[in-house]
């Protein structure tokens, strides 16, 4: 190993005498999932700040001289590092000035104040971490404060590496493969250093998001490179440039970089919740996401990953749910061309989608001749290929629209002037295969045509749909309303939308 790696190894060794003054080791647990390999997760989400960042912050700050402590420290962070610095400041009685972007949610600011109390001063500056970091460095230079770096510091990395020591000391190794998420690369470099020394044959991979892969860019370029704008879905690892220290360490110690998509991360979070009742933050699940993505290459292996944090914003849960898998299948969206006539939708569903798990409908009438229905389905890659072939065989025109803006934001345009004597129904039906189709087949006849359809699968036992139906004449409309059941087999309630909501829908 290089001299730099030896220095980091020694830093981890010495950090053990400091970090355990704060907290005990976190658990290393095996995930009881139906996988071809054994998956072990290091539960850093159970640490004192629900993330691993306290280890590095405390180790670095505990090494300050008396003079440095008296002057105070400065840091920049939008999340877990700020909380680790705040906790350390309180425990060591050091004043900490923490720069955070102005967009930092109140919940994260409040967490910093809760951990740091009177020892912490929050300064909101800029719109991004980079802007806040520059301001923090300027404050450090101006006021003679020590800057506590979130990753590119041997002492910080030394603290982070103690979690790898705990994995070794657990007695559950040796491990064949490790997947370590990378933001700036501090935790990944430190853990790789320790694991490589203990398990010489282990394969170690860094994990990055596909649109925030700054370490991969550094590997390709041979030097840290600013990749510019990064995706912030996994905000804890959204770093534009690899560290000057972490880059050579990761390049020396790792066998490669695995990139994962946001959907991969959502699937990992869903898997951890369903199998282990663990709810990590998005960045915290990236190692598991990589393991699941490469499951076919890991048969029989013992795989180590880190749940690096669980400080998730509650509002993210809806996004995660929408982008996760359903029974192991991916969500795909198709826009299908259907003749604008009664019964056309049911014909297409029966001809092409009968074997699919339907998750979503988006449709509003905009033409008298044709209808373009957006249909969301849960399908594997093989099932999607079969569905595509079936649509082509049936000569049904369609487009693959997964990820398009109007689908993502559920924009459903419609022309109320084209709707003839419409009735809007709120249908609450039991979420089981065929229940929604059965209601439509039973209650829609030759005189009824769907002019609006809004349904989204939410994972509840009861699904809810808003369905607009138009009629050829007033008599047909009245007959439909007279025979419309309020409840029945497969559905809990069917209510005609009246009042202000109906007027908004029909433009009256």
List, as one string, the DSSP characters of 441-466.
Answer: HHH--TTEEEEEEEEE--SSSEEEEE
CA distance 185 to 239: 9
CA 42, distance to chain mean position in Å, is 19
Round to the nearest angstrom and report the end-to-end CA distance of the chain: 76
* Number of C-beta neighbours around residue 227 at 10 A: 19
CA distance 247 to 329: 36
User: What's the residue count for the chain?
Assistant: 508
Q: What is the DSSP letter of 156?
A: H
With CA atoms as reference, report the closest residue to 83 among 134, 42, 47.
Answer: 47
Measured torsion, CA atoms of residues 168, 173, 178, 183, in degrees rounded to the nearest 10: -20
Classified as helix, coil or strand, 33 is coil
Phi, psi dihedral angles at 344 (to 5 degrees): -65, -40
Catalytic residue among 133, 238, 308, 324: 308
Phi, psi dihedral angles at 111 (to 5 degrees): -65, -40
Q: Which two tokens stand for residue 201?
A: 């044959």
CA 295, distance to chain mean position in Å, is 19
Listed in sequence order, the residues at least 6 apart from 84 whose beta carbon sits closer than 8 Å to its beta carbon are 49, 51, 53, 54, 55, 56, 57, 58
Contact 191, 164 (CB under 8 A): yes
308 flagged as catalytic: yes
CA distance 223 to 239: 15
Q: Which residues are catalytic?
A: 53, 308
């Amino acid at each position: 190993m290089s001299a730099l790696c030896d220095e980091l190894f020694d830093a981890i060794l010495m950090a053990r005498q400091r970090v355990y003054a704060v907290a005990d080791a976190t658990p290393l647990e095996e995930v009881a999932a139906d996988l071809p390999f054994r998956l072990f997760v290091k539960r850093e989400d159970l640490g004192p700040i629900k993330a691993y960042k306290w280890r590095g912050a405390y180790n670095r700050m505990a090494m300050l001289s008396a003079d440095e402590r008296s002057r105070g420290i400065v840091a920049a962070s939008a999340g877990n590092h700020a909380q680790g610095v705040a906790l350390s400041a309180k425990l060591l009685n050091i004043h900490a000035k923490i720069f955070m972007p102005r967009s930092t949610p109140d919940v994260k600011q409040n967490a910093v104040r809760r951990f740091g109390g009177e020892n912490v001063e929050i300064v909101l500056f800029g719109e991004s971490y980079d802007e806040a970091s520059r301001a923090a460095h300027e404050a450090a230079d101006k006021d003679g404060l020590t800057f506590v770096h979130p990753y590119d510091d041997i002492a910080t990395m030394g603290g982070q590496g103690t979690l790898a020591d705990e994995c070794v000391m657990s007695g559950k190794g040796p491990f064949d493969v490790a997947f370590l998420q990378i933001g700036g690369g501090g935790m990944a470099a430190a853990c790789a250093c320790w694991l490589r020394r203990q398990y010489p044959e282990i394969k170690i991979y860094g994990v990055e998001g596909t649109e925030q892969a700054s370490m991969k860019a550094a590997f390709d370029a041979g030097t840290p490179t600013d990749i510019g704008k990064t995706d912030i879905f996994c905000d804890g690892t959204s770093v534009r440039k690899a560290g000057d220290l972490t880059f050579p360490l990761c390049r020396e110690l790792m066998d490669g970089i695995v990139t994962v998509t946001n959907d991969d991360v959502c699937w990992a979070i869903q898997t951890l919740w369903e199998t282990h009742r663990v709810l990590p933050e998005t960045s915290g699940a990236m190692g598991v996401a990589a393991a699941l993505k490469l499951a076919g290459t890991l048969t029989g292996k013992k795989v180590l990953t880190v749940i690096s944090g669980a400080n998730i914003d509650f509002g993210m849960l809806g996004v995660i749910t929408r982008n996760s898998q359903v029974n192991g299948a991916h969500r795909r969206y198709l826009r299908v061309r259907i003749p604008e006539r009664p019964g056309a939708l049911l014909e297409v569903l029966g001809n092409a989608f009968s074997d699919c798990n339907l998750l979503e409908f988006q449709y509003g009438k905009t033409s008298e001749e044709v209808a373009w229905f957006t249909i969301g389905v849960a399908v594997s890659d093989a099932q999607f290929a079969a569905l595509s072939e079936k649509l082509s065989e049936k000569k049904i025109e369609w487009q693959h629209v997964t990820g398009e803006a109007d689908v993502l934001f559920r924009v459903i345009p419609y022309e109320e002037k084209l709707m003839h004597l419409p009735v809007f129904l709120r249908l609450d039906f039991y979420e089981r295969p065929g229940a929604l189709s059965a209601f439509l087949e039973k209650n829609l006849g030759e005189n009824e045509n769907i002019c609006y359809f809004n349904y989204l699968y939410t994972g509840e036992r009861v699904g809810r749909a808003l369905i607009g139906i138009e009629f050829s004449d007033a008599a047909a409309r009245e007959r439909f309303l007279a025979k419309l059941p309020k409840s029945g087999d497969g559905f809990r309630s069917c209510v005609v939308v009246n009042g202000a909501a109906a007027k908004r829908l029909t433009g009256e």
